[in-house]
Amino acid sequence: MTTWPLRDADQHYYEALDAFTRHLDPALGSRVIQWVEIDGRRYHSIGGTVFRGVINPTFDPVAEPGVLSRYFRGNPDGADPLELLRARERIRPEYRDRDARLARLDDQGLASTWLFPTLAMVYEEPLHHDPEGVTVMMTAFNRWLDEDWGFDRDGRIIAAPYLSLGDVDWACAELEWALDRGARLVVMRPAAPTTAGGPKAPGHADFDPFWAQVNEAGITVVVHAGDSGYPSHGYARDGFTTDFGGIPQPIRMLQLERPIEDFLVSLVCDRLFDRFPRLRIASVENGARFLPGLFDRLQIVHHKLAGWFSEDPVETFRRHIWINPFWEDDVVELHRLIGADRILFGSDWPHIEGLPQPLDYVAEVEQFTDGERRAILGGNADELTVPVGS
């Protein structure tokens, strides 16, 4: 075992039953979010439409952590994912209680973790047509998060409030509120925000007030996988899940990294980092296999559009963006592309596609030097948790 603190940059809670409604005006439930019961099962209705993208949003019972880990490694056992998912258990205290989670971190051998939503990462998309409704929903959600988890629990549980750029004034006010309560990170989905005037790139000048505030605060923005609303243009059924037990159709699985590739490269191409040089972006649970092709194409565009970029855009990317690969990705190749100081270890615990035990990942980085392993397994996350200039 290592002699330095291990920090997991990707863990999750399962939201409490009232996570979205505790601080929501009941009169707005039909417009924003409310519980409904159909044939004895509970679902959320979002924007007046029943959302079935999550099979059981109560999470009781729920599948065990990492039950699909070998399936996502390439399914060497030839297992049926539907059979694997049928084994469920009652929800564990550490999924919803911060003191129980601290005890679990001790059992896992972790000094700290970044903590992200489960449902909130997929609930902006079904309401994106109503940007004001999104702000109402996420305001209520973030108040619950502050109450039940806090944004910095003993320096060990670093929970990220959810932000949307659909309303930039709200995003600025919500960021200020979160910073006042000790937030070390904020999280958003990889998607072009839908505003009252339609979708816009995240690096659009209209969002500069938000990025200026982030730049000044020195806080890290995490872009975490979620429902980005990407269509398949007729090649597959659209939607967050399909009939295959929640596992996407093959063509959808091949498109998983499209949203984060578009999001990150748009920040570079819109020269956001020229305007705000202290920005730090962490991509979490989005994978890393898109990077080789992206870097090649970026350099081709750099030569074709001489003068557009102030420097090699790949170097801009490497300076401002950290990558948490899928745990089954080739970390040696990722190291070649961005270096050990830009790689984040994240287990995705306790989700079904994550690791059964977070420190199972230690074996993936045995080939690196002690300094490189220290950076990947905790040092980089530690650095990003501290605001720039602090």
Instruction: Provide the residue-wise pLDDT of the chain in tens; the chain has 390 residues.
Output: 567 899 999 999 999 999 999 999 999 999 999 999 999 999 999 999 999 989 899 999 999 999 988 887 778 888 887 788 888 999 999 999 999 999 999 999 999 999 999 999 999 999 999 999 999 999 999 999 999 999 999 999 999 999 999 999 999 999 999 999 999 999 999 999 999 999 999 999 999 999 999 999 999 999 999 999 987 777 777 665 444 445 566 766 666 789 999 999 999 999 999 999 999 999 999 999 999 999 999 999 999 999 999 999 999 999 999 999 998 899 999 999 999 999 999 999 999 999 999 999 999 999 999 999 999 999 999 999 999 987
Give CA angle at 172 (167, 177), nearest 5°: 120
CA distance 79 to 95: 27
| 348 Cβ contact list (under 8 Å, min separation 6) | 10, 11, 12, 285, 327, 354, 355
Is the Cβ–Cβ distance between 387 and 185 less than 8 Å?
Answer: no
* CA diameter of the chain: 62
Q: Given the structure tokens 């690196």, which residue do they identify? A: 368
Tell me how crowded residue 221 is: count the other CB atoms within 10 A of its CB: 21
Domains and CATH numbers, the chain: 7-385 (3.20.20.140)
Q: What pLDDT shows up at residue 253?
A: 66
- Half-sphere exposure of 319 toward its Cβ, with a 13 Å CA cutoff? 15
Q: What pLDDT shows up at residue 389?
A: 84
pTM for the whole structure: 0.95
The β-bridge relationship of strands 62-63 and 88-89 is: antiparallel
Q: What pLDDT shows up at residue 238?
A: 66
| 300 Cβ contact list (under 8 Å, min separation 6) | none
Element of type H or E holding 133: helix 131-148
Residues making up the chain, counted from first to last = 390
Lookup: tokens for 93: 């205290």
CA distance 217 to 10: 22
Q: What pLDDT shows up at residue 192?
A: 97
Is the Cβ–Cβ distance between 138 and 163 less than 8 Å?
Answer: yes
Q: What pLDDT shows up at residue 233?
A: 73
Lookup: tokens for 248: 């996407």
Q: What pLDDT shows up at residue 234?
A: 76
Q: What pLDDT shows up at residue 248?
A: 61
